Each structure stands twice: as C-alpha cells, then as structure tokens.
Structure 1
Amino acid sequence: MVVRGWRWVVVALGLAVLVALPALVEALPADDEDVSPADLRAQVLASDDVAFSGYAISSGGLTLPVSDALTGVADLLSDQTALRAWYRGSDDWRVDVVTPTGETGTHRDASGTWTWDYADQRASRGDDPPLALPTAPDLLPSALGRRLLSEAGDDELSRIAPARVAGVDAVGLRYTPADPAASVSAVDVWVDPSTGLPVRVVVRSAGTATPALDTRFLDLDLSAPAATTTAFDPPPGADVTAERDLTDVDLGRQERADLPATLADLGRRSFDGVPDQIGAYGSGITVLAVSALPGRAAGSLRDQLERTPGAVVDDLGVRIAAGPLSLMVAGTSTRDGGSGTYLLAGTVTLDALATAARQIQEAAR
C-alpha cells in the first residue's frame, strides 16, 4: 500500500509539472523584432498556407443563456477546449477535440468537412455555408488570429511586447477597435515572425481583467503533416448524417425583417447566401446581427434573458451582456397596429443595442 500511494504522489507531481510547464516556458524572456503593425498584420493574413501540426488550448470566459440548439457554441465560449491540429493548407486539415471521454475529429477537404465522433462511430458531412455556427477548429490561434485581424484598420493596430509561446519567440500585435459601439476593448495576437502564423490570441472586453477568450499553442511543429493524417473516409457501418449550419437552427418561421441601412452608426452589409431575414451591420470585430423572431421563439428567449443576472429590462425589451457579446430581444409596433419582435446580437455595447432597437422601432412606425 505504501508503494502504491507513493506511485500516485509521483503521478500527481508529474501532472502538476506538465500543467505548469507552458506557463514556466512562457515566463522566459522572448526576443522582439522590428516590424511595423501593418506589415505584421499582412504577414498574418498571408499565413493560411503555412503547414503545421500542434496542440492548443482555448479557454473561454463567457456565460451565454442559449437554447439547446446552441449548447455546443456556449461550451466553446465558456469552457476549456483541448485541440490537436494537423494543417497542410486551407482546404486540407484536421482538428481533433480531445476530452477525458474521447475525441471528435474535423477533417477538411476541397469541398467541405467531415466530423467524426470516435465514441459513437458517427460521421457528419458539411459543405461550406456562408453563415455557420462557430466550431472548435475556429478557435485555433492560427484561424482565429487571421479572422479577427482581417478587417482591422492600420490606425487600430499597435505593437505590444513579445512572448514565448510553444517554443516560439512570438512578436505581439494589438488590435483596438475604434468604433464607439465596440464592446471588445482589445485583441492581442502573438505571431511567429518567420511564418506570420498566429500562435496565441487573447480577446478582451472593457471592465474585466479576465479575457473573454484566450487560445494558444502549447506545442507547435512547422513541418507539413502527412496527407494520410488529414484525409478521412467514413468507415463501413458508420452512421452518416448532414451537418447543420446557422440557417438550420430551429427558431420557427422567420418573418422578413425590414431594417434600416444603418443601426447605431453601423452600416448594413450583405453577404452571399445570408438570408434576407438577417441584417448584418458593422465591420472588423464590431458586428451586429438582427433578425425578426416568431412569437414562440421570442417568448422563450425573452424569458431566458430576463432570468440572466444583470439583465436590463425596459420599454425597449430585454438585453444582456456576456463579456463582449451582447443579446437583446426587442419589440416593435407597426403603422397598421401590428407588432413584431427582433433578436439583436453582436460584439457591441448595451447602449449600442438600445440605440439600434430604438431605431428599428422608429423605422417600423
């Protein structure tokens, strides 16, 4: 019994060292490089053909009151996600989510993705919808860094101190959104200067020291993985289904939303394939989405938001903030005496949501 007990002490100490090691390594000083913020952003955006394999951890600090259809998204943004990645190119990669009970792998090819649940032996096929729910591969530092910096203006960028990440002396870049409606205070990206590959991304919101999202590589190999590692074919006997995208989420029958061209000083944008019922506003990381809601879905979501600590309830509707993400259910009255309900969601402040809801009400009269 004494020997067995000692063995577990050794295992516990070993696990403690493994957990602490990334922090200890990152505490070592990192070399910086003389590169302008704009040039560093350009290197990041050009890094989608950089091959690598690695292990990453994403930690979310958000608590979202969502329906059962969006539980997976809430888990990604509120918990820790362990990711093992093999990347050969933008249309040839594999990302496994590693949990204590198993793994789920996403394999990308030229025409879409396969998601494979090892435990349930279930495969699902997705194409490439213009509007889709976030998934675990979107949280990789490489993918998230490119996406968040894709529309940042040169005047919104600055250099920050370097950091040691996954054995890389990574140079730092900060994106500070200039729009007054922005609820994200800063996005910090650390980049491998030799490839432009983002190796850590931290998203911050005003008024809290805890990051809304912190994703980083713990291990990184910049050699190309084998094609056999990223390829996937469903094994015989596997249960094969089609994946759902954002337009498949069951909110009931959506009414067409007649929305203004501008809300809260954010201009409306159009995207190929996005339904007319959804209005998209803003640019960069400051975005707002608006959709008309049917009565059944509106009532259920309104009840959820009202039960959320910190909810603001007034004559405009009910709105909440979860870190930099804001949600609102707002009601309107029409010229003919009718009424409607809208869902507003995005990375904007609660004041911006209230302004947008008021403008929607005015446009409906």
Structure 2
Amino acid sequence: MVRRGWRWAVVALGLAVLVALPALVAALPADDRDLSAAELRAQVVASEDVAFSGYAISTGGLVLPVSDALTGVADLLSDQTALRAWYRDADDWRVDVVTATGETGTHRDASGTWTWDYADQRASRGDDPPLALPSAPDLLPSALGRRLLSEATDAELTRIAPARVAGVDAVGLRYTPADAAASVSAVDVWVDPGTGLPLRVVVRSADTDVPALDTRFLDLDLSAPAASTTDFSPPADSDITRDQDLRDLDLGRQERADLPSALAGLARRTFDGVPDQVGAYGSGITVLAVSALPGRAAGSLRDQLSRTPGAVVDDLGVRIAAGPLSLMVAGTSTRDGGSGTYLLAGTVTLDALAAAARQIQEAGR
C-alpha cells in the first residue's frame, strides 16, 4: 500500500511538472538585442514570408453577449484555442484547431481558403473578402502581431524586457495607442530577433489586469514545411459549401449610410469591396465600425445588449464594454423625417461610442 501511494505521488508530480513546464521555461532569463523599437517593428512587418511550423495556444479574456451567428467568434475571444500551424508563405499555409472532439483545418492557397471539418467531412471555400469575422488563424501570434503593429507609429512604440518563448530569446516591443478614444491600453509583442516573427502577443485594457487576449507559440520550427502538408483538395464525396462573409449580410435597404468623415476624433477610411452602409474609422489597434441595421435585427440586438451587466442605456441607445471591445445600438433620425438604427463596434471607449452616436444623430438631422 505504501509503494502504491508513492507511485501515484510520483505520477502526480510528473503531471504537475508537465503542466507547469511552459510557464517555467518562459520564466527563464532571456538575452536581449540592441534593436530600437522602430527597427523591431520593421522586422515584424517584413516577416510575412518567414516559413515555420509550430504549436500555439490563444487565451481570450472577453465575455461577449452574442447571437447564435457569432458564437464562434465569442468562443475565440473568451476561451482557450489550441492551434497547429504549417506556414510556407503568405499564400500557402495550414492552421488546424485542435479540440477534444476533433480538428478543423484551414488551408490557404493563392485563390482563397479551404476549411475542412474532419469529424463531419465537410469543406467550405472562402475567397479572402475585404470584410470577414475573425477566425482561428487570425489568432496565431505571427499573424496577429504583424496586423496589430502594421500601422503603429514610432512614437507609440517602446522596447520592453525580453522573454523566453518557445525556446527562443524573444525581444520585447510595446505598442501604446495614442488615440484618446482607444480602449486598448497596450499591446506587448515578443519577437524572434533573427526572423522578425512575432512569437507572443498580449493585448491589455486599462480596466483589468486580465489580458483581453494572450496568444503564444509553445513549440516552433523555423524550417519550411512540405508542400504536401499545406495542400488540400476536398474528397469527392464531401459536402462542400461557401463561406459567408460580411458582404452577405442584409444591412438594410438604405442606399448609403449618412455618416460623417470623422467620428470620435477618428478619420473615416475606405476599402475596396466594403458596402457603403459600413463606415470604418481609425487606424492601428484603435478602430470603429459603424453599420446601418435593418429594423428586425435592431430590436433583438438592443434587447440583448440592455440585459448585459454594466450596460449603459440612455437617449443615445444602449452600449456595453467587454474588455477593450465596445458595442452600441444607436438610433437616429433621417433627413426625410424617418428614423434609422446603427450598430457601432470597435476597440474604443464607451465615451467615444457616445460621442460617435451624437455625431451620427447630428448628421441625420
């Protein structure tokens, strides 16, 4: 009996060591490099064609009140996602989401993406639209780090202490948004100094110590994976569908949203393929999207947001914050005497949402 108890104690200790190993390795001292913040950002932006394969974990700290249509996005931003990646270049990669019940793989080629559900034997084809909801491949540290730093200015960047990530002495970079409307307080990125590849990204908001998002590689191989690993053709007997993107959504019958050229101090931007009813504002990590809502969707979404703890309900509409992400349903009058409803969403403060809603109301009058 004593021996059996001793053996189980050894097993328990071994499991504890395995679970703690990534954290213990990350705590080891890391060597720094003599690189300026601007030089490090330039390396990150230029790392799009760095080949690698690896295993990553993304942990989201947001709790979003969403409809069934957005359940997948809410899971990505509020739960832990395990990712295996094989990356040859920007148009040739594969990312598998690993769960207890199976895997779902996304394969990128020159024409778009294939998403393959192993359990259901179902494939869907996407064509890389200008507007799309976040998906698991977007959470890879390499992709997220490049995207978030792509529009950061030199004045918004500082160096931070290095850290051990996936066995690499990764150098640290902090992006602190300068916009007064920003709800993100800082983005910390740790980078492989040899390739510029982001290895860990932590997104923080000022109102909590819990990161809104923490994604990191646990294992990394910087050799190019085989082309056969990333290639995909759906089996002949599989069920094939087309991915829905935001261009497929019914944004109402309005020909054009009557939106100003700036909202809450953020300038409006234009993108090819984006409907006129959608206004995109800001840059870098501080962005705001505004869309006209059809009446049948506006009522249910307004009710859902108003039931969320901490919701602000006033004459402008209803608005909530989930970490650095803010949502608002706002009503306004139109020039022909009618009324309209808008959805405002982005990484801005609740005060910025209120300011934007007032400007939209004024433009409508």
Name the TM-score, length of structure 2 as normaliser: 0.96
Number of residues of Structure 1 aligned to a counterpart in Structure 2: 365
Counterpart of 1:299 in structure 2 is 299
SS at match of 1:22: helix
Counterpart of 1:185 in structure 2 is 185
Q: In structure 1, how many angstroms separate the alpha carbons of the residues matched to 2:305 and 2:285? A: 24
Counterpart of 1:149 in structure 2 is 149
Is the CA contact (8 Å cut-off) linking 2:177 and 2:285 kept in structure 1? Answer: yes
Is the CA contact (8 Å cut-off) linking 2:251 and 2:291 kept in structure 1? Answer: no
Counterpart of 1:246 in structure 2 is 246
Counterpart of 2:138 in structure 1 is 138
Structure 2: runs of 5 or more not aligned:
none
Is the CA contact (8 Å cut-off) linking 1:57 and 1:216 kept in structure 2? Answer: yes
SS at match of 2:360: helix
Counterpart of 1:111 in structure 2 is 111
Is the CA contact (8 Å cut-off) linking 2:84 and 2:97 kept in structure 1? Answer: yes
Q: In structure 2, how many angstroms separate the alpha carbons of the residues matched to 1:281 and 1:30? A: 39
1:1-365 to structure 2, matched below 5 A, reads 12-249=12-249, 256-365=256-365
Q: How far did residue 166 of structure 1 move?
A: 0.4
Q: In structure 1, how many angstroms separate the alpha carbons of the residues matched to 2:313 and 2:255? A: 24
Measured against aligned partners, the alpha-carbon deviations of 1:189-221 in whole angstroms (never above 9, x if no partner) come to: 000000000000000001210000000000001
Letter in 1 for 2:66: V
RMSD: 1.8
Letter in 1 for 2:262: T
Question: Residues 308 and 53 from structure 1, CA distance in 2 versus in 1: closer, same or farther, beyond 3 angstroms?
Answer: same
Letter in 1 for 2:132: A
SS at match of 1:241: strand
Measured against aligned partners, the alpha-carbon deviations of 1:269-319 in whole angstroms (never above 9, x if no partner) come to: 000011111000011111000011111100010001001000000000000
Letter in 2 for 1:36: S
Q: How far did residue 172 of structure 1 move?
A: 0.2
Is the CA contact (8 Å cut-off) linking 2:31 and 2:169 kept in structure 1? Answer: yes
Letter in 2 for 1:169: D
Measured against aligned partners, the alpha-carbon deviations of 1:221-266 in whole angstroms (never above 9, x if no partner) come to: 1111111111111123111111111222466656631101111111
Q: In structure 1, how many angstroms separate the alpha carbons of the residues matched to 2:69 and 2:51? A: 34
Question: Residues 10 and 287 from structure 1, CA distance in 2 versus in 1: closer, same or farther, beyond 3 angstroms?
Answer: same
SS at match of 1:204: strand
Is the CA contact (8 Å cut-off) linking 1:37 and 1:159 kept in structure 2? Answer: yes
Percent identity of equivalent pairs: 88
Q: How far did residue 17 of structure 1 move?
A: 2.2
Q: In structure 1, how many angstroms separate the alpha carbons of the residues matched to 2:4 and 2:305? A: 51
Measured against aligned partners, the alpha-carbon deviations of 1:49-82 in whole angstroms (never above 9, x if no partner) come to: 1110000000000011111111100100000000
User: Which is further off, 253-262 or 230-239?
Assistant: 253-262
Is the CA contact (8 Å cut-off) linking 2:38 and 2:154 kept in structure 1? Answer: yes
User: Which is further off, 176-185 or 249-258?
Assistant: 249-258
SS at match of 1:179: coil
Letter in 2 for 1:310: G
Structure 1: runs of 5 or more not aligned:
none
Q: In structure 1, how many angstroms separate the alpha carbons of the residues matched to 2:364 and 2:4? A: 73
SS at match of 2:148: helix
Letter in 1 for 2:103: E
Letter in 2 for 1:145: G
Is the CA contact (8 Å cut-off) linking 1:252 and 1:297 kept in structure 2? Answer: no
SS at match of 1:49: coil
Measured against aligned partners, the alpha-carbon deviations of 1:3-48 in whole angstroms (never above 9, x if no partner) come to: 9998876665444322210000011000000100000000000001
Name the TM-score, length of structure 1 as normaliser: 0.96
Is the CA contact (8 Å cut-off) linking 2:207 and 2:323 kept in structure 1? Answer: no
Q: In structure 1, how many angstroms separate the alpha carbons of the residues matched to 2:197 and 2:87? A: 12
Letter in 1 for 2:338: G
Q: In structure 1, how many angstroms separate the alpha carbons of the residues matched to 2:127 and 2:10? A: 48
Letter in 1 for 2:19: V
SS at match of 2:161: strand
